[in-house]
Amino acid sequence: MLAAASAPALAQGAKPPACTPGRVTPAQTEGPFYSARAPLKANFRGDAKGEPLVLEGVVLGPDCRPVAGAWLDFWHADAQGAYDNSGYRLRGHQFADADGRYRLETIVPALYPGRARHIHVKLRAPKGDRVLTTQVYFPDDPGNARDGLYRPELVARRTPGALAFDFVLGG
Ligand SMILES: [Fe+2]
């Protein structure tokens, strides 16, 4: 049953998760625009107009095994580069499925001064008390090279119809 559920996800062109045991996803600053208590929402498309984007992948533990039910809290700028700091547009949390998979349907955030294009996220294992705060970057974004926060380990990979990024949580 588990294998049957996993097969279609890999058939979409995604590579199996790249994971080296113990090599956790680097943390990044949350920046000035995090809002706690964002609603349960995995589809931001109704929040703002923009080019559709899917970000999907797997949440893994330090042993490279999927973290079922992991909490992911995403937020990012709109197509004009603005964050919603009074409401929850382009903000929402979701939980990874039984295979550790998550999927965010949203729009492409704009560039804003001084930054590469990026999506913020916080993650936590269901029984964990440690939160990983990080950012995901876009492949081939010319802003990457100019952004002092950019790290190549945090670039999503392009798959047919989506960007993919697998997070590896620490112990
Ligand atoms: Fe940001």
Enumerate the domain spans of the chain.
Answer: 39-171
Instruction: Give the mean pLDDT of the chain.
Output: 90
Whole-structure pTM value: 0.89
- What does residue 93 show for φ and ψ, rounded to 5 degrees? -115, 160
**Three-state SS across the chain?**
CHHHHHHHHHHCCCCCCCCCCCCCCCCCCCCCCCCCCCCECCECCCCCCCCEEEEEEEEECCCCCECCCCEEEEECCCCCCCCCCCCCCCEEEEECCCCCEEEEEEECCCCCCCCCCEEEEEEECCCCCCCEEEEEECCCCCCHHHCCCCCHHHECEEECCEEECCEECCC
Note the pLDDT tens digit of each residue in 137-149: 999 899 999 999 9
How many Å lie between the centroid of ligand 1 and the Cα of residue 144?
13
Residue 73 has pLDDT above 50, yes or no: yes
How many Å lie between the centroid of ligand 1 and the Cα of residue 1?
39
Looking at the domain covering 39-171, what would its CATH class be?
Answer: mainly beta
From 118, 125, 123, select the one nearest 163 (Cα to Cα).
118
pLDDT at 17: 54
pLDDT at 164: 97
From 119, 101, 111, select the one nearest 167 (Cα to Cα).
101
The rounded distance, in Å, linking the Cα atoms of 117 and 139 is 10
Q: Among 5-14, 126-135, 157-166, which is the least confidently predicted range?
A: 5-14
Other CB atoms closer than 10 Å to residue 61's CB: what's the count? Answer: 20
How many Å lie between the centroid of ligand 1 and the Cα of residue 20?
28
How many Å lie between the centroid of ligand 1 and the Cα of residue 28?
11
pLDDT at 18: 72
How many Å lie between the centroid of ligand 1 and the Cα of residue 163?
18
pLDDT at 171: 76
From 64, 82, 72, 16, select the one nearest 42 (Cα to Cα).
72
How many Å lie between the centroid of ligand 1 and the Cα of residue 4?
37
How many Å lie between the centroid of ligand 1 and the Cα of residue 30?
8
How many Å lie between the centroid of ligand 1 and the Cα of residue 92?
15
Residue 12 has pLDDT above 60, yes or no: no
